[in-house]
Structure 1
Amino acid sequence: MVVDDHPIWREGVARDLAEREVDVVATAPDGAAAVRIAKAVRPDVVLMDLQLPELSGAQATEQIRTALPDTRVLVLSASTEHGDVIEAVRAGASGYLVKSAGMDELVDAVTRTAAGQAVFSPGLAGLVLGEYRRRETEAPDAPQLTPRETEVLRLVAKGLTARAIATRLTLSHRTVENHVQNSLRKLQLTNRVELTRYAIERGLDADE
């Protein structure tokens, strides 16, 4: 589903996605309509603008994610403002893409979001990471991951697949998956998107 308050942009993106065999099930012109329509059509991915009438994109994202936990939200915005990116992630967005992205990049981002990956335009994940480093410190009772689990989590945050991580660390695919599952259990998270968001919030995808 494509959500944007500019009709030409909204319909153009929907048309271009459809031409590339992405099934566009609906469009919406504002945040309130996005929430209402999403509940009716239950899309796999909502492509969400942030600057919307009625409800902001972040507010709409939060309401959609609450009502439809299996629906993922990919923000597509002209803004690269620090606060906008952080607000979107806090609201439950799986990723954030700027509108200067090309159509091939957008199609790839939608596909990856549908597959459960966290997708950010280059540099934006770093904004989120830097902010959380500045504002947050680990709670004393935070779950403790082993050095290897942290190493795997760092690569998950960079967007690597389990097989790519296995190759990078010279481990078996099963061992990497075990580390991911152990991390999920310790952190009381349910999937890789939540795990990636956790890692991004704590700066684990930054280059060492």
Structure 2
Amino acid sequence: MTEPVTVMIVDDHPMWRDGVARDLADRGLTVVATAPDGPSAVRIAIATRPRVVLMDLNLGATSGVDAISAIIGKLPDTRILVLSASGEHQDVLDAVKAGANGYLVKSASVTELVDAVRRTAEGSPVFTPGLAGLVLGELRPGGSASADPQTRLTERETDVLRLVAKGMTSRRIAERLVLSPRTVESHVQNTLRKLHLHNRVELTRFAIERGLTEDG
């Protein structure tokens, strides 16, 4: 990306928050704000409009999940990457349902974190290894499948959708399916149009809700 990636960091531990801010700034990311709790995170995000919000879930008396919902409600183009000490299944699922685009645990290295922030800014879903399988396998609705828009997709479009939902780039998908990157992008655009979605994050949520990636 030619534009600097702007980031806001939300964490209730000042030393951790400041340390992450330094690590990201040292590697070329632009930290525009920090916040210690959910309400201030929402207020500051609206004022600074960061590309990525790096969000802890446990914010003392406030909930990171509630903050995610509130920020997405006000700034739908902002991407949320959770960075939490918790790898509990329910925490991960609650965050994704609220609108998070990815989830890392705090044991991630600085290199992994910087890469995850950049990929999140580009629109890719990013998960700590092991958590992606949880989300893709378990987060699904119990509602009716009648008039399912998935039935509008061709077999190849469904194949591409599965790999998009696993965070693969068009180049990697092209290599996996023995297609050209341009053909992959064509399938992605056709799928977005058929499903009335806008970007890869929404495609990923669609796939998550239907458990489309179980077959690996």
* Counterpart selection for 1:97 from 88, 101, 104: 104
Bigger proportion of residues as strand? 2
- How far did 1:132 drift? 2.7
- How far did 1:108 drift? 0.4
- How far did 1:54 drift? 5.0
- How far did 1:97 drift? 0.4
Select between 169-178 and 5-14 the one with higher mean Cα deviation: 169-178
Q: What secondary structure is seen at the aligned counterpart in 1 of 2:39?
A: helix
Match of 1:39 in 2: 46
1:165 maps onto 2:176 in alignment: no
* Counterpart selection for 1:110 from 92, 113, 117: 117
* Counterpart selection for 2:17 from 10, 18, 21: 10
Q: What does the per-residue CA deviation read over 1:47-103, in whole Å, with 9 as the maximum and x for residues that have no partner?
A: 000011453111101111111111110000011111110110011111000000010
| TM-score between the two structures when normalised by the length of structure 2 | 0.90
CA contact (8 A) 1:5 1:29 kept: yes
- How far did 1:202 drift? 2.6
CA contact (8 A) 1:128 1:201 kept: no
| TM-score between the two structures when normalised by the length of structure 1 | 0.93
* Counterpart selection for 1:140 from 141, 146, 156: 146
For residues 165 and 130 of structure 1, what CA distance do their matches in structure 2 show? 20
For residues 100 and 148 of structure 2, what CA distance do their matches in structure 1 show? 24
For residues 113 and 31 of structure 1, what CA distance do their matches in structure 2 show? 20
CA contact (8 A) 1:45 1:72 kept: yes
Match of 2:211 in 1: 203
Structure 2: gaps spanning 5 or more residues: 1-7
Runs of 4+ in 1 over 3 A off after TM superposition: 135-138, 205-208
Match of 1:189 in 2: 197
Match of 1:152 in 2: 160
CA contact (8 A) 1:72 1:93 kept: yes
- How far did 1:150 drift? 0.7
Question: How many pairs does the alignment contain?
Answer: 207
Letter in 1 for 2:169: T
Identity %: 69
For residues 159 and 28 of structure 1, what CA distance do their matches in structure 2 show? 28
1:70 maps onto 2:58 in alignment: no
For residues 55 and 205 of structure 1, what CA distance do their matches in structure 2 show? 33
For residues 163 and 152 of structure 1, what CA distance do their matches in structure 2 show? 12
CA gap of 1:101–1:6, structure 2 versus 1, over 3 A, is: same
Q: CA RMSD in A?
A: 1.6
CA contact (8 A) 1:31 1:53 kept: no
Structure 1: gaps spanning 5 or more residues: none
- How far did 1:155 drift? 1.2
Q: What secondary structure is seen at the aligned counterpart in 1 of 2:107?
A: coil
1:43-62 alignment, distance < 5 Å: 43-53=50-60, 55-62=62-69
Select between 47-56 and 88-97 the one with higher mean Cα deviation: 47-56
Q: What does the per-residue CA deviation read over 1:119-146, in whole Å, with 9 as the maximum and x for residues that have no partner?
A: 000011111223235x536612111121
